[in-house]
Amino acid sequence: MHFNVKTTKPQQFIDITHKVLEAVKTNNVRDGIAVIYVPHTTAGVTINENADPDVVRDMISALDKAYPVHGYYLHFEGNSHAHIKASLMGSSCTVIIQDGKLLLGTWQGIYFCEFDGPRNREFYVKII
Ligand code: ZN
């Protein structure tokens, strides 16, 4: 299943858990695996806390401290920080489907991670 996501900030984590669940329900799978895949080089996907929004803010600022937007990089496009952060988060993640639900912890959510926005982005969910 294909999804579009419109990011609104240069760096932003967007909770896409409900979209992944939508793909699970559409496929009518009770037990299986959901693969979430992001086909971009400056955006990624990760699972982390969805209770306190400060957690994702802290993650963005910590990544920024380690890989500043205006650091010394060779890449002509000037967005190397975004490429590095995207690889750190990863381009896919896998979630177990059990009894028709995503087997996530109480405080876990699935986040689309924008590092070079705002842009029109996309991601895929494959249910097996
Ligand atoms: Zn680039």
User: pLDDT digits over 82-99, tens only?
Assistant: 999 999 999 999 999 999
- How far does residue 115's CA lie from ligand 1's centre (Å)? 11
What CATH code is assigned to 2-127? 2.60.120.460
Q: Write out pLDDT tens, residues 55-78.
A: 999 999 999 999 999 999 999 999
Smallest CA-to-CA distance from 99 within 50, 28, 48, 40 is with: 28
pLDDT band at residue 115 under the 50/70/90 scheme = very high
Provide the residues around ligand 1 (an ion) whose CB is within 5 A. Answer: 77, 79
Sequence spans of domains, the chain: 2-127
Global pTM reads: 0.96
Q: Write out pLDDT tens, residues 7-31.
A: 999 999 999 999 999 999 999 999 9
- How far does residue 61's CA lie from ligand 1's centre (Å)? 20
- How far does residue 21's CA lie from ligand 1's centre (Å)? 31
Smallest CA-to-CA distance from 102 within 15, 20, 37 is with: 20
- How far does residue 31's CA lie from ligand 1's centre (Å)? 39
Chain-centroid distance, C-alpha 11: 12
- How far does residue 22's CA lie from ligand 1's centre (Å)? 32
- How far does residue 63's CA lie from ligand 1's centre (Å)? 17
